[in-house]
Structure 1
Amino acid sequence: MNDTATSSAAIDQLLGIVEQVARENHPGQAYAVTGHSSFERELGLDSLARVELVQRVGRAFAVELPPQALAEADTPLELLRFLSPRRYEDLRTAALPPQGGAGVPAQAETLLDVLEWHASRAPDRVHILLRDEHGRDVQITHGQLLAAAREVAAGLLAHGLRPHQTVALMLPTGRDYLSCFFGVMLAGAIPVPIYPPARLANIEDHLKRHAGILANAQAALIITVEAGKPVAVLLQAAVPSLGAIVTPAELHGAERLPAQRPGSGDIAFLQYTSGSTGAPKGVTLTHANLLANIRALVQAARAGPDDRFVSWLPLYHDMGLIGAWFGSLYAGIPLVLMSPLAFLARPSLWLEAISRHRGTISAAPNFAYELCARHVGDETLRQLDLSCWRLALNGAEPVSPATLAAFAERFARCGLRREALAPVYGLAESSVGLAFPPPGRGPRIDTILSEPFVRERRAVPAPAGASDTVALVGCGMALPGHELRVVDDTGAELPERAVGRLEFRGPSSTSGYYRNPEATRLLKHGDWLDTGDHAYIADGEVFPAGRVKDLIKRGGRNLYPYDLEQAIGQIPGIRKGCVAVFGSPDPATGSERLVVVAETRAASELDRARLRRQLNETAVDVIGMPPDDIVLAPPHAVLKTSSGKIRRLASREAYEQGTLAQPEQRPWLHGARLATKALLARAKVTGRRALAWLYAGYAWFVFALVLLAFGAPVIALQRPSAGRRIVRAGARLAMRLLGAHPQAHGLECLPREPHILLVNHSSYLDAIMLAAVLPATPGYAFTAKREFARQWWMKRLVTGVGGVFVERTDARRGAEDVDAIVAALRHGERLLVFPEGTFTRESGILAFHSGAFMAAAQASAPVVVAALSGTREALRADSWRPRHARIALEVGPMLRPSGAGWADAVQLREAARQSLASLRGEPLA
């Protein structure tokens, strides 16, 4: 930091700027700003106010403040340390050079296929131009991304990750996020994107919501940055399934990918809804869903090799993850990617990136366009060339006609064409996109009469000169291969311009919510899915009207809160963007009341009375009636999602419970509570680990005790019939002492004739578990590897239960073993065989040894396939720490050899392997 920035005059100047912004944000309030004044808790600066502050400080000190300043600085002194004279312009690389297109992977069935397709054909082609935290542009090629993802996958496997488990990604936008997302997929697991905590003030709400997400997802592992580990520990304490916390730097290892690879129908990732109208729900999206949506979007956008996508959208939201990243990857077009914090710190960076890299497609919510229209100065406008921008997509929240007009007018001088503005509609339940306008048409604004709209739910076009009107924005037509319809409350389809519930169907549609059958039942109406929005269709185009759960019915009128919230937010003294309007039943009459909750720092009765009066007047002007109840709440009372949407349902619940207007907690007390929670969380996690080690020690004590008590008689007697009963009794006792209750299904299907029972091999515990659940009479003779014959006590134990030793490597001895098995079968024995001969940490059915199948063919004996589950989790390979797990045996089909020759044995072997893979739900390794 230079001397000017650290001088007393500079500090005074900084405090003056902070005080000025605070006073403008809350007119009439007096502030005594010090170097330690909290922007959020003491000065009431919300996210947009902090954006304004950072911009003014940057201009005053002639510096470019990095994005971290917006997220990390909460006091003037914390902001001071970011005042470095280094400019972003000095660090910029040259614009992205032209690149030839390589086509699209039309035959790809998964996202992994898409990445590998591009990496094999154009490994050195730039996939992403990433703006890092220092403002530098870093190129990432298809080949680099695939190589990094494979390294992450190997690291995850080394941490014990199993196929189909879920992994939470709590990472900021950056190279690590990109490689970890595909790394989880390559490891055969399911990514669950969640957003990192932004500020201390909302950490408790963050923890509550994310603990619910991770518990529902049953996440086994969380990947986060080093600074996120304290938060991850708190989540780990609340979510028992969360076994490990790792950083991307810790995920290194030799490339070792699992045999299991996701198919088109497998879950690609879980997209948890923002929860603006309730608790977050995990939308299950398969690879087929995603690729269907991406292909439809590429077709609707007419995306081609000359396009370039520019995005600052968070990668933990569907619009940034699927629309921007996956869409660009599939189409093979470069993606210029920057952090959301960089955009919020300086919104013009987004437009500068479009101008410099000649971006043709970019997307953002409505608030981003409004932010740019208000905050990008004239000097920046003179440097922008937006003539290249052909699709300015606006979605993810209600689109404002006023914002569209202001943005188009403000940036017309930069070459932006109004026809480039494209309001779109989508939702996570349809992957991301659902409706798209014709490119180059421009926005369609439908001005309708207000009275029929609010009373009769009809969208009647307003004649010229009409005064009482409502303007709604068209969001295009259904994507190719998808359908939209509007229905009434009975499910009957409505004609055009009738307002009702919007439903959809198509190949992008989710199958439902993860581990939430009740929410899934409410989502689906036959083969149609409910968007949760009211809308009408005119000339085939959809016009969203508001969330169904937000609709307020009062006095025969149907009111939507958005316009009233926006108008109230303009009242001086009310925190803009911090207003919630909702309906709440009157306890006395049962009728619905119109409630307005507005955040303010006004303390005096005179100021609060003025605000109530102005708020009433505004409500009458906007909706023609005053609210029934006005709550002037302290800052942060109105609950929001991670993307800043008002959580009206949650705010209504807080209102009805009387918790909205609770006084703010002092910062030191808030910090003390979090510190206490952190200590308790660490203690809980440590205690959980200690209990796991205690259980492991107890398990080995039980195994040793049972082996001595029951193994000794078997070794001494050498009577197989008695030995099998003794071993079964000992194994069942061990299971009871360890609290394990192995289940067996289909034992009644086991044939009485001599046969071979084929079971998958997953753990050293397999033999013990099978001894506990299989019948002792007449019982099974286990086959054991010949290495055990060289250990006196193991040899006596195996022979004491009638076991047969087999050779795994020596072909000559293997032929002799086949003869021994044939003799045992012809003697009436039933044999239990582990055809894989060994086991690994990862799931997957290994190659089968042929001896048992050759013996079955020669003896004309059937083989029965059975699947053992849970033992790998109870004691994994390369580990000697037993864990508690659910263990079960399922008896499958019986197969008979078609002849006695080698070809018949091979046919029997492959049929048995396929049957076992199907029964276990594991791939063939």
Structure 2
Amino acid sequence: MTASNLPPDSADRLLDLLRTFARESRLPEPPEGIGLDTRLESDLGLDSLSRSELIARVEQGLDVRLPDQALMAATAGDLLQMIQGGVDGTETDLSAASIASGADDLEIPAGARTLLEVLDWHRRHAGDRTHILYYDGEDRAHPIRYADLAQGASRVAARLRHAGISPGDTVAVMLPTGPDYFFSFFGILAAGGVPVPIYPPARPQQIEDHLRRHARILDNAGTSFLITVPEARTIAKVMQVQVGSLREVLTLEDIETETPLDDWAAPEPNDIAFLQYTSGSTGDPKGVTLSHADLLANIRAMGEAIAIRADDVFVSWLPLYHDMGLIGAWLGSLYFGVPLISMSPLAFLARPRRWLQAIHQHRGTLSAAPNFAYELCLTRISESQMEGLDLSCWRRAFNGAEPVSAQTLRRFAEHFAPCGLREEALAPVYGLAEAAVGLAFPPVERGPRVDCIDRVRFANSAYALPVDCEDPDAMEVVACGRPLPGYRVRVVDGEGRELPERHEGLLQFQGPSATRGYYRNPAATARLIRDGWHETGDRAYLAGGDIHLSGRVKDLIIRGGRNIYPYEVEQALGELPGIRNGCVVAFAATDPKQGSERLVIVAESKERDPGRRTALQQRARELATDVLGVPPDEIVLAPPRAVLKTSSGKLRRVDTRERYLAGKLFEGPPRPVWQLARVGISGLWGRISRLVSDLPGILYARYAWVLFYLFAPGFWIAGTLVPTLGLRWTFTRFGLRLLGALTGMRVRVSGRENLDAAPSPCVLVANHQGYLDALALILALDRPVSFVAKRELTATPWVGRYLARMGTLFVDRFDVQRSSSESAQLNAALERGASLLFFPEGTFREQPGLMPFRMGAFAAAAQAGVPVIPIAIKGTRERMPGDSFRPTPGRVEVTLGAPIRPEGSDWPAAVALREAARDFIAGHSGGRIRSRIS
């Protein structure tokens, strides 16, 4: 039936279907009944899985096919509008589209050091090959070749450059799965930025929680730009109020009109490739810092572990803001050159059969999903929908990102065995963002392995004693694989002592992709890395070389000397009729009266009848006691949406516990417009508070600049007219001392006697921390020296003329060994008796630490046979940070070292001068050495 010939009673039929669904699901029907204005989430408590079931019933009952966006409908009236715009209800297949399964032999960019080099390699070697086949919500195929990806990235990079992006700027990507996402990720890298994937808002009823969580993430990342869809501009603008660093919100409208950027950035392997924020980040956002080297190391290790082949095809609906979808599915496919069949998570949730159909149609060999996805296929794909599906090509069905159920593995293998699915294809895996994505995979061609252990012994002594799986006290623990090649894992106790096999404790790892830490969060980084090992945050035991996970450290409940993990009881209670599956959390809460830990279980229920609620609560208590071996202190039957979840569907136990302790479990969310207003007001208040706290600093900075502009013209004129260099130097130092006295900036000098004792001429070298370095050196030195500066400074006449009058020598680059004329100019100055002052780093950065020293100063000193005096500057970065021109009062320290005499005039002598000077400066400036590579 088409939309044009729908019967006039479509609204009544829809409401009848909705009422029937509500009764069967025991939904909390509103007092006024179910009508077109009934809100599907806040009034009925429908989550994504409930909506998916409802949409399936509506399509069958009205013989229509709804768009995927029906899952996001706010009211029954919204559903009716979509029904009226629907099409024939016949089940459709994915549009036919051919895709090459790969080359005869696996060709990979083995020499690539960064993601941009990987893309460029494929563009040059196989630009016309299809890299991604993306299916939109209408099941239409959109092929993206390697050349298309590079071209789209170049256009996005051009838009970012026009917007004013600077190297190292973080750029948030809030886009759904699709070509724009792929183009944006690499476009940010090509423009020199750092991508920060975040998830778009899913449901209007949770908009306030979404904005507050993302605002904390973007603020921690110091985000400069946000790329999103035009429809999200309002939401993005509200976020801009809360995030002070967010300069502009960009969309990709008319992106095809942009002239592609040819001048791509050239990051180093250890530069940040992107920041992966955990979806559950709340008050303390933890952005995992992943470099290009980290990602490539992890991707290569995973490819080796699964024995990647030239004929592999990866099929994925996983969200691209999550590491398993972004790295495991997309970037892994990109590196190895295997085709990626991509669809949105919404497409999968609306019609789970699409996932398996794509594997069948494109002969997919690799795919991955969390455990719930396999469960959804079991409940939503009927036997009739399985007809014609051939899954014999599926060689690795990865299951990870959330606890893996042994029961799900068995049922999925049995259910889809008639479709050719081999049990050996099912592969429980383990990974975490701190390792990039993957840490442990099972051996190739080995099926799932389940360890049966004594539940009571494990809870009391943390020892995993093997028992017969038929034992009533047996607990099933799924093996999640062995460490990837090049990685190591161990289990330790609370004191860091390594434990033997089958003893449960804290799981730690080492490996080539282990993150350097959390972005701008040194406290969390210090907790992450201990004695060279990275904490996973998980508890586990090792057996037979496999990792067996028992639970998250933060979720462990200790009661009566027993270790209790919430997963088993949550899963068991979720199976009870009347309790919403996947919406149960167990946690420990402190009793405010007794000060002891209480075991609390919160379970969502749509049951409203008081008698049935009491009976359900009692059944839940009995079942929980059977599973845990101890009775829970409290079971709370809460309304739908009371149990909080992350964007990827994981339970937010800590946040739900906070809601429980605050007595807010039974509070419904306000309407989206009020949520937006509250977030906007809080953001404005935050900006006002920051402005008030920053006001003294702003006023001081303006005062300092006013003084500078008052003094500068007079001193410039006098300085250029004074006849001798010595007088000009004295006059300039007097002006700077006066300015420093009036602004509260003081320069403390030590080691000046080293300069007095040094012969003239000599070469002075100083570290470069900020804009005030040259001024601090003029104050520190009581005799004229000639600064060696970049010739670009002469482009501003008033600056260039003054510097020239101060004896400055201008060169095109500091590495004077490459320019004989500039080398001769410096040698001539030394022969005249002039002392030269270099900044061998060439420039400065906002981040602390010494950059590599260029060789020009040291080569000049060695050739002329004059000593080098190292000078360490400390404090100018704090007085005027490199990312602003806002000065602050305080002290600057300048330390002059003893003269270092060259031991020859050749290149090794120059290198020795550089190393000695660098060691002195590093020791006295407080700057760690970044690298010794020149």
Range into which the TM-score falls when normalised by the shorter chain? 0.7 to 0.9
Give the structure-1-normalised TM-score: 0.84
What letter is aligned with 2:287? Answer: G
Distance 1:562 1:694, change over 3 A: same
Tell me what 1:262 maps to: 268
Is the aligned partner of 1:178 residue 2:182? yes
Tell me what 2:79 maps to: 79
Describe how 1:364-763 pairs up with structure 2 within 5 A: 364-463=369-468, 465-603=470-608, 605-662=610-667, 664-665=669-670, 669-670=674-675, 672-674=677-679, 676=681, 702-731=707-736, 752=758, 753-755=760-762
Q: 1:222 aligns with which of 221, 226, 246?
A: 226
CA contact under 8 A between 1:267 and 1:287: conserved in structure 2? yes
Distance 2:792 2:521 in 1: 50
Distance 2:117 2:914 in 1: 27
Distance 1:257 1:541 in 2: 47
Deviation per CA, 1:888-913, whole angstroms, max 9, x where unpaired?
99999988889999x99999999999
Tell me what 1:99 maps to: 102
Tell me what 1:233 maps to: 237
Distance 1:54 1:817, change over 3 A: closer
Distance 1:291 1:900, change over 3 A: closer
Distance 1:857 1:254, change over 3 A: farther
Q: Which moved more, 1:427-436 or 1:734-743?
A: 734-743
Tell me what 1:323 maps to: 328
Distance 1:461 1:840, change over 3 A: closer
CA contact under 8 A between 1:234 and 1:682: conserved in structure 2? no
Distance 1:314 1:859, change over 3 A: same
Distance 2:933 2:152 in 1: 26
Deviation per CA, 1:754-799, whole angstroms, max 9, x where unpaired?
345578999xx95895367543521334578999999997798557
Tell me what 1:70 maps to: 71
Q: Which moved more, 1:714-723 or 1:473-482?
A: 714-723
In structure 2, stretches of 5+ residues that fail to align are 814-818
Distance 1:790 1:339 in 2: 52
What secondary structure, in the 3-state scheme, does the structure 2 residue paired with 1:422 have? strand
What secondary structure, in the 3-state scheme, does the structure 2 residue paired with 1:216 have? helix
Tell me what 2:57 maps to: 56
Distance 1:771 1:466, change over 3 A: closer
Distance 1:209 1:682, change over 3 A: same
Tell me what 2:44 maps to: 43
What letter is aligned with 2:13? Answer: Q
Distance 1:114 1:61 in 2: 49
Is the aligned partner of 1:148 residue 2:149? no
Q: Which moved more, 1:741-750 or 1:482-491?
A: 741-750
Report deviation, 1:491: 3.6
Describe how 1:262-281 pairs up with structure 2 within 5 A: 262-263=268-269, 265-275=270-280, 279-281=284-286
Report deviation, 1:156: 3.5
Distance 2:791 2:650 in 1: 66
Q: Which moved more, 1:888-897 or 1:266-275?
A: 888-897
Q: 2:128 aligns with which of 124, 131, 140?
A: 124
CA RMSD of aligned residues (A): 4.9
Tell me what 2:251 maps to: 247
What secondary structure, in the 3-state scheme, does the structure 2 residue paired with 1:458 have? coil
Report deviation, 1:630: 2.3
Distance 1:138 1:831, change over 3 A: same
Report deviation, 1:626: 2.7
Distance 1:155 1:217 in 2: 21
Q: 2:207 aligns with which of 186, 203, 212?
A: 203
Tell me what 2:117 maps to: 113
Is the aligned partner of 1:778 residue 2:783? yes
Report deviation, 1:19: 3.1
CA contact under 8 A between 1:584 and 1:595: conserved in structure 2? yes
Distance 1:388 1:658 in 2: 52
Distance 1:245 1:606 in 2: 53
CA contact under 8 A between 1:729 and 1:772: conserved in structure 2? no
Deviation per CA, 1:393-440, whole angstroms, max 9, x where unpaired?
111111112212222222222222222111112222222222212233
Give the structure-2-normalised TM-score: 0.83
Deviation per CA, 1:674-697, whole angstroms, max 9, x where unpaired?
464577689999999999999999
Report deviation, 1:657: 3.9
Report deviation, 1:864: 6.6
Distance 1:667 1:905, change over 3 A: closer
Distance 1:783 1:28, change over 3 A: closer
What letter is aligned with 2:761? Answer: P
Distance 1:7 1:686 in 2: 60
CA contact under 8 A between 1:870 and 1:885: conserved in structure 2? no
Distance 1:18 1:745 in 2: 82
Tell me what 2:365 maps to: 360
Deviation per CA, 1:170-215, whole angstroms, max 9, x where unpaired?
2222222222222333344433222222222222222332233233
Deviation per CA, 1:812-842, whole angstroms, max 9, x where unpaired?
xx9999988767545544345789999999x
Distance 1:606 1:722, change over 3 A: farther
Distance 1:143 1:794, change over 3 A: closer
Distance 1:914 1:826 in 2: 25
What letter is aligned with 1:261? Answer: P
Report deviation, 1:241: 3.2
What secondary structure, in the 3-state scheme, does the structure 2 residue paired with 1:598 have? strand
Distance 2:858 2:361 in 1: 67
What letter is aligned with 1:109? Answer: R
Distance 1:253 1:873 in 2: 37
Distance 2:896 2:252 in 1: 42
Deviation per CA, 1:124-146, whole angstroms, max 9, x where unpaired?
22221122344322222223323
Tell me what 1:309 maps to: 314
Q: Which moved more, 1:199-208 or 1:399-408?
A: 199-208
Distance 1:743 1:142, change over 3 A: farther
Distance 1:367 1:792, change over 3 A: closer
Q: Which moved more, 1:136-145 or 1:266-275?
A: 266-275
What letter is aligned with 2:39? Answer: S
What letter is aligned with 1:770? Answer: L
Tell me what 2:816 maps to: none
What secondary structure, in the 3-state scheme, does the structure 1 residue paired with 2:359 have? helix
Tell me what 1:9 maps to: 9
What secondary structure, in the 3-state scheme, does the structure 2 residue paired with 1:99 have? coil
Distance 2:574 2:30 in 1: 21
Report deviation, 1:335: 0.9
Report deviation, 1:701: 5.2
What letter is aligned with 1:97? Answer: A
Distance 1:330 1:365 in 2: 23
Distance 1:22 1:667, change over 3 A: farther
Tell me what 1:139 maps to: 143
Report deviation, 1:601: 4.6
In structure 1, stretches of 5+ residues that fail to align are none
Tell me what 1:22 maps to: 22
Report deviation, 1:596: 0.9
Distance 1:143 1:613 in 2: 62
